[in-house]
Structure 1
Amino acid sequence: MPVRGRAAQLKVRGGFFSRGRGGVIAGGTGLTRNKILVVESTTAGGMGAGKARVEAISIEGLAMVHALVIDAVEGQFEVHAMLQEDIATLPRLPPATDVHWHRIRSGIDVQDAIKEIAPSMDYSFVVAPEFGGYLDRYTCTIESLGCTVLSQPSSAVIAASDKAGALGRLSRNHVCVPTTQTISEFAAYPATRYPVVVKPNHGAGSVGVFLARDATDLDAAVAADEQLSFPREELIVQEFITGIPLSASVIATPYGVDLLGINEQDVILSSAKDSGSKYRGGVAGALHPELAVAIERIARAAANEFQLRGYFGFDFILDPRGVPVVVEVNPRLTTSFAGLKLLHRGSMLRFMADMLASKKVERPWRPDTGFVAYQVIELPGSREISLGSLHPPATQDIITISSPGGGISAFVAAKGTSKTQAIDNMNQLAASL
């Protein structure tokens, strides 16, 4: 039933690294700390089939790894992170930190690597797309090994990853959502008119998302998704909602929800004939305070409905009436975290660990003043780039990774006292590369 409603190699400057057991180890103090394993599937090499869809979001994955590692360091963890051996870019860390980089060679099964490393960890945090069942599978594996998961539990992942099903459940909680059907339902009895949005029911980012203005566009979108290893029966059709694309970043706790930010999104939505949709970045900060009450209500509904715990996000469109229309729930870390980390002080991971241990915890992050703008850009050729650091009091950040075309993909972020200044600073930083 329809849901109704409204890679070039780069040298790294800075940092102190020595080769050690399990990977590259940053110089440390030797103190015993809680061990945490960070697994981000697109950069750990754990995606398998559908290479093109992985390459489209790997730079966002590396930006999230960077932010998580810094967050874990600030949380006084001994940090272990999995990273493909051919990725040369590492965060530039301050001295006296313990970060073990487990470099995954080509052909190594990431699932097997997780089974080897996770049993010796106290905690883990998994970032993976919902498509292909990667997020669910890696989370279930780690749970079965007795390692405490600080990302969303598998039960929440399964419940919220089904986009059509999740929107139906939110609609029954009086949350505005777009009319949503499977491809077969739309072909038999369309519940909305063109234009529509075609996307995988279990998807991530803008991979496989296409605008269809007519039946010809729809057929082209289905064909393009099949090329990305998304079968026809996995696709859904959504009502196209005009308005401002936004997202919410939330921490769910036993006591309610903590809204970390309402983020503006720079998304190009286009047809398969026009090369498809693309996520280019966004802005985080004290944006749209007039929406806080409504967004917190939606966040509570989602957290309660799907039993979410810790960080999650959801994408929504602010329609011309000023009503937020939720288009999907993300039961995982989102790219916005890489921007928010530059803006906030404190450790989300330490907050999560203390919360699960039933310790008295305060607000996970202390917000800084100002705004941060972030963008994904493509650079031609190969070059050496001096990497930034998210360690306070950083005001900018650069993350780079090899691009499929032989150039460089970069995640660029910069702070400013106003939204306009943050965007200007980001653009200046990008222009300097």
Structure 2
Amino acid sequence: MKMTKRVFVYEYLSGGGWSDYGDDTAADELLPLGLSMRDAMVADLLRVRDCSVSAATCVPVNTLPAGVMPLRPLAGESAFAFVARQSALHDLVWLVAPETDGLLSRFQRTVGDARWLGCSAEAIELTAGKHATLAHLAAHGVPTPLAFEHAPEVQRWVVKPDDGAGGVATHVHTSRAAAVEEQTRRAQAGAAVTLEPWIEGEALSLSLLCVAQNAEMLSVNRQRIAIDAQGRLSFEGVTVDALGRDDPRWRALAALAAQVVRAIPGLHGFAGIDLVWHPQRGPVAIEVNPRVTCAYVGLSAALGRNLAAELVASRLHGDAEDGELARAHA
């Protein structure tokens, strides 16, 4: 008889983190995205056989799909204490949080490898820093904006949080001098920011499923990005599975994804790569997201597969193999 696996879904902002995120504007901007990801993850898990689903919620974010056990922090309980307590009561933890201030990596270490359904702590910590990620990828032969730093055709420059999420606090400038001025001002105010050449072209993202030593590029998504008259960038959503496998760019994008996975071997579960397709140079990696991204929403339906079921099955299969290996060597 199969034992029911208990899975705890925790999305940081909707699970109570919005109240202590430290940036009300960012929290307001990111909360709807967080909710959409949480609900998509939960919806897929509800269709997994022999799986019970719990999810974090809080006031005023207190709605969940039917069939999910709502879990709330105790009065005065920190996000990390709450996750640690629930982790001990569940078999698997599927968690989404910003990389900002080391949040995601700290949650990973709080949960531990045995229950964590996602990327390794090392991969999370590397990809949390945008500049460090680009330098690491460039050293492994992946095209990045760093290759454009001295290119005469670069007309715009972007300043953004080095460990931020979404398009929060990201500004595009028409001269490097103006970008340097903003970077200096924000750094003097204590903000960790990075400056990069703005890569012209089509904003895309890749959704990856990394399981059982295999990384599959699930989809190529189109990102909707707007820049206002003051240069403020905003993320307006994503069109999931926008490029079909017959698109002439698919092979080059799959090759880029494979390069990234080889460069960051700790990518496990669902992960995303943001990139720009440059008209002349092809795909240029912008950042790596070691977690569920907005492109997860609707992706299972678009592909006709239950990605959550595949993640859980792969993890349980891996655990079974580890157990067999341990018994064989006992």
Structure 1 length normalisation: TM-score? 0.65
Give the aligned partner of residue 5 of structure 2: 34
**Contact map agreement 1:71 1:346 (CA 8 A) in 2:** no
Evaluate the alpha carbon distance shift between residue 304 and residue 167 of structure 1 in structure 2; reply closer, same or farther with a 3 A threshold: same
Give the aligned partner of residue 27 of structure 2: 54
Q: 1:87 offset after TM fit, Å?
A: 1.2
**Contact map agreement 1:314 1:329 (CA 8 A) in 2:** yes
Q: In the alignment, residue 287 of structure 1 is paired with which amino acid?
A: L
Note if 1:343 corresponds to 2:298.
no
Q: In the alignment, residue 40 of structure 2 is paired with which amino acid?
A: A
Q: In the alignment, residue 209 of structure 1 is paired with which amino acid?
A: T
Give the aligned partner of residue 23 of structure 1: none
Q: In the alignment, residue 84 of structure 1 is paired with which amino acid?
A: C
Write out per-residue CA displacement over residues 381-429 of structure 1, whole angstroms, 9 at most, x where no aligned residue: xxxxxxxxxxxxxxxxxxxxxxxxxxxxxxxxxxxxxxxxxxxxxxxxx
Q: 1:219 offset after TM fit, Å?
A: 3.6
Q: 1:160 offset after TM fit, Å?
A: 2.0
Evaluate the alpha carbon distance shift between residue 198 and residue 34 of structure 1 in structure 2; reply closer, same or farther with a 3 A threshold: same
Give the aligned partner of residue 64 of structure 1: 37
Note if 1:207 corresponds to 2:168.
yes
Q: In 1, Cα distance between the equivalents of 2:180 and 2:16?
A: 32
Q: Determine which of 258, 261, 268 is the counterpart of 1:309.
A: 268
DSSP 3-state at the match of 2:199: coil
Give the aligned partner of residue 324 of structure 2: none
Q: 1:86 offset after TM fit, Å?
A: 1.1
Give the aligned partner of residue 281 of structure 1: 237
Where do 1:371-386 residues align within 5 Å?
none
Q: Determine which of 190, 206, 224 is the counterpart of 1:231.
A: 190
Note if 1:157 corresponds to 2:124.
yes
Note if 1:112 corresponds to 2:81.
yes
Note if 1:177 corresponds to 2:144.
yes
DSSP 3-state at the match of 2:255: helix
Q: 1:34 offset after TM fit, Å?
A: 0.2
Evaluate the alpha carbon distance shift between residue 178 and residue 217 of structure 1 in structure 2; reply closer, same or farther with a 3 A threshold: closer
Would you identify which runs of 4 or more consecutive aligned residues in structure 1 move more than 3 Å? 104-108, 190-194, 214-223, 357-360
Q: Determine which of 318, 334, 339 is the counterpart of 2:277.
A: 318
Gaps of 5+ in 2: 320-330
Q: In the alignment, residue 144 of structure 2 is paired with which amino acid?
A: V
Give the aligned partner of residue 101 of structure 2: 132
Q: In the alignment, residue 78 of structure 1 is paired with which amino acid?
A: S
Q: In the alignment, residue 235 of structure 1 is paired with which amino acid?
A: V
Give the aligned partner of residue 167 of structure 1: 134
Q: 1:71 offset after TM fit, Å?
A: 1.1
Q: 1:111 offset after TM fit, Å?
A: 1.1
Q: Determine which of 31, 40, 43 is the counterpart of 2:14.
A: 43
Q: In 1, Cα distance between the equivalents of 2:63 and 2:187?
A: 32
Identity %: 23
Higher helix share: 2
- Aligned CA RMSD, in angstroms, stands at 2.7
Gaps of 5+ in 1: 1-30, 182-189, 361-433
DSSP 3-state at the match of 1:300: helix
**Contact map agreement 1:198 1:210 (CA 8 A) in 2:** yes
**Contact map agreement 1:269 1:278 (CA 8 A) in 2:** yes
DSSP 3-state at the match of 1:329: strand
The total of aligned residue pairs comes to 309
Give the aligned partner of residue 115 of structure 2: 148
**Contact map agreement 1:248 1:262 (CA 8 A) in 2:** yes
Q: In the alignment, residue 296 of structure 2 is paired with which amino acid?
A: F
Give the aligned partner of residue 80 of structure 1: 54
Give the aligned partner of residue 327 of structure 2: none
Q: In 2, Cα distance between the equivalents of 1:350 and 1:208?
A: 36
DSSP 3-state at the match of 2:44: helix
Evaluate the alpha carbon distance shift between residue 194 and residue 293 of structure 1 in structure 2; reply closer, same or farther with a 3 A threshold: closer
Q: Determine which of 289, 309, 315 is the counterpart of 1:330.
A: 289
**Contact map agreement 1:67 1:338 (CA 8 A) in 2:** yes
Give the aligned partner of residue 251 of structure 2: 293
Single out whichever of 334-343 and 131-140 deviates more from structure 2.
334-343
Give the aligned partner of residue 387 of structure 1: none
Evaluate the alpha carbon distance shift between residue 179 and residue 41 of structure 1 in structure 2; reply closer, same or farther with a 3 A threshold: same
Q: 1:103 offset after TM fit, Å?
A: 2.7
Evaluate the alpha carbon distance shift between residue 320 and residue 194 of structure 1 in structure 2; reply closer, same or farther with a 3 A threshold: closer
Write out per-residue CA displacement over residues 86-105 of structure 1, whole angstroms, 9 at most, x where no aligned residue: 114333x4xxx4x1111346
Q: In 1, Cα distance between the equivalents of 2:179 and 2:251?
A: 38
